[in-house]
Chains A and B, each alone.
Chain A
Amino acid sequence: MSYSIAMVSVGTGELEVLASSDYEYEALGQVTWSPDASRLAYMAPRGIYVVGVAGSTTPTPTLVCETAPESSVGTGFSIAFMFSRLNWYPGL
C-alpha cells in the first residue's frame, strides 16, 4: 500500500497527484493549505514537507524539518505523525 497527496478541482474534476510515498506503507497525511492557497504542507514519518500547487512544472516536495528520531521512521508511522495535527498559521 502506498500513499499520495492529491488534489481535485471542484469545477472541472481534474485530479493531480502532488507527492507519493517513497516506500511501501509510508503514510502521508496531515494535509494543510497555506493561507494564500499556493502551497500544501503534509507530514510523513520522517518529517514535514511542503509542495507548491500552482504552475505548470512538476510539483517537487521539499523537506521542511524532521519531526521524529530516525529510529522511529521506517515503520510507516511515527509518534509525531500520529499526535500532530499539522496546521498552517492562518495569518499572512
Chain B
Amino acid sequence: MVSRPGNGVSTVTGSVVDAADVSQGIADAYVYVPIRAVPRTRQASAAPVAEAHTSADGTYTLTGVPEGTQSIVVEPPAGSGYAGMQIDLGIPGGTTVSLRITLARLNADIKGITVVPSEELTLTYGGVQQYTAVVLDSSGADSGLAPVWATTGGIGTISASGLFTAGNSTASGQVVAMLGTAVAVVPVHVRPLPSLAGTLLYTDTNSGQSDICIVPVDQGTPVPLLVTPGVHETFPLWSPDGSRAAFLRTTDLATDDLWVMDADGSAITSITNSLDVVKNQCWAPDGLSLVLSVHQGEAMVLARARIDGQVDVLTSGHEDLDPDWSPDGQLIAFVRSPIWDGTTGQLPSSRACLVSRDGGAVSVLSPDSERAYEPRWSPDGASIAFVRASSDGTVGHLCLMAPDGSAVTDLMPDSPPLTTAGEPRWSPDGKVIAFVLQ
C-alpha cells in the first residue's frame, strides 16, 4: 500500500522496552519510518522518512513523520538477542503520537495476539471500553504473557490492564496491544455525544454485556451512553424533562439497584442500595423521584425513591407492580395481586389500584371478578387505560376507566376472539393509544 502524506507532519515519540520487564529500556535500537513510495531511480539510496537511535533509557523521537498509514520499524542492537518488529500505524497530521514499543527475546516463542473486542468501535467523549488480550505461543495456546497497551491518534489513554478511556476531542486512531514482534490493532473513533433530540434510549447487548446506548432514529448508528466493564446496566428511562436517565445496575445478575445519570452519561449516582428492584420503574412528573417495585420478603411492594437517595415504602403485603404516576404527581396507579405461592394452579387475582404518592390507604379500581393489567394515565389525567383480561388470562381487551374506577369502556369491542392487548402507550396528545396485539 502506498502512503500518501498529507499537509501535516507529526512526531512519534516514546521508548523501546524489554517485553519481559517494561521498566527496562533498550538502548541503541534503531527506530525508523521507511520511505514507502519512491521513484525507481532513487530506490537504491532511499533514506528513511524519519529515524532515530534510542538513548540509554530506551527513549526515541521521530520527527517529520507524514500523516497517513506509516510503518514504524525497530531494529534491535546487534547481538542483543531481541527480535526486531514493524508496526503499521495511522498517523494523524500535525500531532505528537506517543508509542511505547516492546521487544521480546528471539526465543520468546510468540505467535500472535488476539484482542477482544476486535471490532472497530466508536465512543463518545470520556467513554470507556475494557480490552482484553491473549498472547498466543507457537502452538496457538495462551502463553500467559501480558501485552503492552498503547494508543495512537490522540484518541485517549489506556491502562496497563487494557482499560481504554476516550479523550475529550474528536479523533480516530487505534488501540494497540504489543509484545515482541506480535501486534494487534483495533480501530477506535472518538466523537462528541450527538444531539439527543430524535434519539432512542435502549439496552444493547452486542458487546456481550448489557450497555446503555442511544441511537438517532434517522441515522441508525448507535452511540454508547454508558458502558461499564463487567456490569450490566438495563431498562434505561429518560426523566420527563430529559435531563436525566434512570436505569438498573447489577454486578451479580441477581440483584438490581436503581441508578441515575445525567443525560450525557455523567454524574452516575446510586439511588437504592441492595433493594432488589423489579424492572418497571416510573418517573414522577417533576423528575425528582421515581416509583418502583421492590422485593420485600415474599412480597413486592411499591417504593418511592427520590434522586437524593431517600427511599420510602408506600405499600405492603402484596405483589404490587406496574406503577404509573398521575400527570399531576399526586397518585400512583398500579396492579395488585396476592402473594402467590404457585400451588393453587390458578392465576391469582390482578386488580388495578391507586395509592397516594406518600403511601397510605389503597383504593381498588377494578372488580375481583376481572383481571386488570398495565394501568396507564392519560396525559390530561382524566382517564386510565388498562388491559382487562379474562379470568384465565388468555384474552385481554384495551379499556378505559375514570380515575375512580367507573365508566369502563372497551376500546376493542369488535376485535377478533383470542386476541390480547398489552403495553398501552398514550400518544403525547392523548388522542391515540398504541399497543401490542397478540
Contact = CB atoms under 8 A, between A and B. Distances in A.
Interface in B230-264: 232, 234-242
Interface in A21-71: 28-37, 39-43, 48, 50, 53, 63-69
- Chain B interface residue bracket vs A: 35 or more
A6 B434 contact: yes
B24 to A, nearest CB: 42
Contact of A31 (B235, B415, B435): B435
Contact of B428 (A4, A29, A33, A50): A33
How big is chain A's contact interface, by range?
Answer: 35 or more
B206 A85 contact: no
A88 B218 CA distance: 13
A37 B427 contact: yes
Contacts of B200: 32, 41, 48, 64, 86-89
B278 to A, nearest CB: 12
A64 B220 contact: yes
Nearest to A11: B431
A5 to B, nearest CB: 6
B436 A31 contact: yes
Contact of A67 (B202, B238, B426): B202
Contacts of A31: 423, 425, 434-436
A87 to B, nearest CB: 5
Interface in B414-434: 415, 421-423, 425-434
**Which of B200, B378, B430: most chain A CB closer than 10 A?**
B200
A37 B214 CA distance: 20
Given A33-B425, A90-B238, A80 B197 contact: no
B106 interface: no
Contacts of B411: 8, 10, 13
Contacts of A40: 434
B152 interface: no
A79 B210 contact: yes
Nearest to A88: B200
B428 A86 contact: no
Contacts of B430: 10
Interface string B371-402: 00000001000000000000000000010100
A80 B438 contact: no
Contact of B438 (A2, A10, A13): A2
A10 B197 contact: no
A2 B422 CA distance: 13
Residue among A4, A18, A91 with most chain B CB within 10 A? A91
A84 B196 contact: no
B204 interface: yes
A48 B202 contact: yes
Contacts of A65: 215, 220-222
B205 interface: yes
Contact of B206 (A8, A36, A41, A69): A69
Contacts of A64: 200, 215, 217, 220
A10 B429 CA distance: 11
Q: Name, among A34, A63, A68, A83, the residue most crowded by chain B CB atoms within 10 Å (CB to CB).
A: A83
Contacts of A2: 438
Contacts of A5: 434-437
B202 A8 contact: no
B435 A50 contact: no
A8 B215 contact: no
A20 to B, nearest CB: 9
B434 A33 contact: yes
A30 B425 CA distance: 10
Interface of B: 196-206, 210, 214-215, 217, 220-222, 232, 234-242, 279, 378, 398, 400, 411-413, 415, 421-423, 425-438
* Pairs of residues from A and B, 10 with the lowest C-beta to C-beta distance, nearest first: A83-B234, A84-B203, A7-B434, A4-B437, A84-B202, A80-B205, A37-B427, A85-B235, A79-B205, A90-B242
Given A8-B433, A67-B203, 20 more contacts: A2-B438, A3-B438, A5-B435, A6-B421, A7-B427, A7-B432, A8-B411, A13-B411, A32-B200, A32-B425, A33-B428, A34-B198, A37-B429, A37-B432, A43-B202, A80-B205, A89-B197, A89-B201, A90-B239, A91-B241
Interface of A: 1-11, 13, 15, 17-18, 28-37, 39-43, 48, 50, 53, 63-69, 72, 78-80, 83-92
12 contacts: A5-B435, A7-B434, A8-B433, A35-B428, A37-B429, A39-B217, A42-B436, A79-B205, A80-B206, A85-B235, A89-B199, A91-B196
